Chains A and B, each alone.
Chain A
Amino acid sequence: MIPTLWLASYPKSGNTWFRILVANLWSNGDKPVDINQIDSTDTIASGRNPFDQSLLIDSTLLTMDEIDRLRPAAYAFAAGERPLADTGLPIRFVKTHDAYTLTDWGEPLMAGARGAAGALLFVRDPRDVAASFAHHMRCSIDAAIDFMAREDFCFDSATDRIDRQFRQRLLGWSGFAESWLDQQDVPVHLVRYEDMLADTFAIMRAALAFAGVEADPTRLDRAIAFASIDELQRQEAASGFREAPRQVRSFFRRGAAGGWRDELTSKQIARVERDHGAMMGRLGYNRSTR
């Protein structure tokens, strides 16, 4: 059995970049992995099809709460099975944008220790998230800041149509990080996007060591080069990125830290810092206002 690790993040915080780094590390090829063929990781935890396929139930006929009650069993089963795709990886990495919540039956949605051996939690300065999230959602920065403040904000929660992913409760930017940091079921390793940018090598080695894997330095160096923002943007411009939302032209936008200084107004900066001051402090992001 291959251990499972959640790659948990609020959107736009380096989750996909990490997955591409891992894909390049294990492909060990002489050219960058195609970003549309990242088979190094399992599909996102909220995906509908893997659930239907392992439970043999048509989930379109279940309510969102009924689905949530069954998700822990699906995750526990997947963690104990052979991965669907043979990735050659020693770890089954599964991305998720679900906050760590309990179902209405009181069970951890992510199945606690039965669902995974641990989690990598990716966080990013919420002021940078705001600008990137606005681009991703094709909304104004003010609207993105609203979403980040709302504890009831969910992905894929429409009830008049079917989405290919289940409802994901994000609990807001602060609530997301808090839910993963404060749960006691699985160990969490925190990865700050800014640190990953500043010293990708060291942060990757530490994250992989948490996963119980020792990365070969030469291969890791090459993987980092193959997953550079320039390369990702080049590939996306040439052939698109299938994980990008429809009609979003550039998923890989800037890949920078501190862009908020010229992208957010002082009013917007003050609002993010007011909304998320406590969690920013906890994660080591300094406020520019008081």
Chain B
Amino acid sequence: MDLPGLIPGNSEQPIDVTIRRQLVPMTLDAAEAVGPTWQRAGNRFLLRIPNIARFLLEEGRSIAFEAEDAATPQDISVFLSGSVFGILLHQRNHLVLHASAVLAGGKAVLFCGVSGAGKSTLAAALVERGYPLVADDQCAIELGEDGIPHTHADGRLLRLWERSIAELGLDSRRGDPMRNRLRKFYVHPATASDVPVAVGAIYVLGEVRDSQQPRVERPNVVDATKLIAANAYRPLLVRRLGQREAYFQGGAKIATTAGIFRLRRPLGFDRVAATIAALEEHWASIGLRNGAS
């Protein structure tokens, strides 16, 4: 199975996660929680995407999948390397944020928001300005023994809608459609990072209306801490897996070591440059100077 965007592994390193095609049940025995598309029983988690596939995740170490109906490998792989990996990262007790990230001043700068908030578009515009891509859509954060939060590069592809690609002038970097039936494409970034990097700042994306200028606000530590849990990739899993406390502690750590901010900016492709200017000014003020390298 082709998993676009992933960084090739090193065969000398121990295997971390096993992915296998095998029979996957429709339900789990002794399920203690049942959602519309998922079930959980202890360390086992079953996700069913009807007409695509069923995925069984065990102990954060293995993923088994079984295709449904006429699903193509492409259909299965986009969900495997997106939604399913996200669940796996939660299962592994990572702090996983719904965010895209670029490298600025040698550190990762994260942009958090729900689907449609503009994470990928902003990241893509920054990459065009020379800031290497770190991750698109999911950012797993680990607090090292030094207490410094790091994030892992998730791969080397952006995922953008046709309209964003056109508006940002990225047609020459456009790769395959994520699914043949969708107008959402892989886009090859001009520059990308593939090693873990320290987190420099986290911005939660918001909007200002009309002709207002973009602005960065710094919430107090308590509110900033709450923002981390609220911007988890899947807040439902944070609750169900009993990880809220870990998110609050991680959030407090990030707030003090890196900084958690709200970025309120006007939407619209013609305002992206103004947003980047505001960000660069902010980076200068917090010591992430001269970002692109």
Contact = CB atoms under 8 A, between A and B. Distances in A.
Do A and B assemble together? Answer: yes
Interface of A: 48-49, 52-61, 63, 66, 69-70, 73-74, 76-77, 158-164, 240, 246-247
Nearest to B51: A66
Q: Lowest 8 A-B CB distances belong to which pairs?
A: A73-B36, A161-B163, A77-B36, A164-B116, A160-B162, A49-B114, A160-B163, A55-B37
Contacts of B234: 53, 56
A53 B234 CA distance: 6
Interface in B239-286: 267
A61 B163 contact: no
Contacts of B83: 56-58, 61
Interface of B: 35-38, 47, 49-51, 78-79, 82-83, 86-87, 114-116, 137, 161-164, 178-179, 181-184, 209-210, 234-237, 267
12 contacts: A53-B236, A54-B36, A55-B35, A56-B236, A58-B137, A60-B115, A60-B116, A61-B83, A61-B178, A159-B183, A161-B162, A162-B184
Contacts of A58: 79, 82-83, 115, 137
A87 B87 CA distance: 29
B231 to A, nearest CB: 12
Contacts of A54: 35-36, 236
Contacts of A162: 115-116, 161, 184
Contact of A73 (B37, B79, B115, B181): B37
Given A56-B37, A56-B237, A160-B162, 16 more contacts: A54-B236, A56-B35, A57-B83, A60-B115, A60-B184, A61-B82, A70-B36, A77-B36, A160-B161, A160-B183, A161-B161, A161-B162, A162-B115, A164-B114, A246-B209, A246-B267
B182 A61 contact: yes
B79 A77 contact: no
Contacts of B115: 48-49, 52, 58-60, 162, 164
Contacts of A73: 36-37
Contacts of B86: 56
Contacts of B209: 240, 246
Contacts of A74: 36
B226 to A, nearest CB: 14
B237 to A, nearest CB: 7
Given A55-B35, A70-B37, A240-B209, A63 B267 contact: no
B69 to A, nearest CB: 12
Nearest to B236: A53
A240 B211 CA distance: 13
Contact of B179 (A52, A61, A161): A61
A247 B271 CA distance: 15
Chain B CB within 10 Å, residue with most, of A55, A56, A70: A56
A66 B234 CA distance: 21
B165 to A, nearest CB: 9
Contacts of A60: 115-116, 184
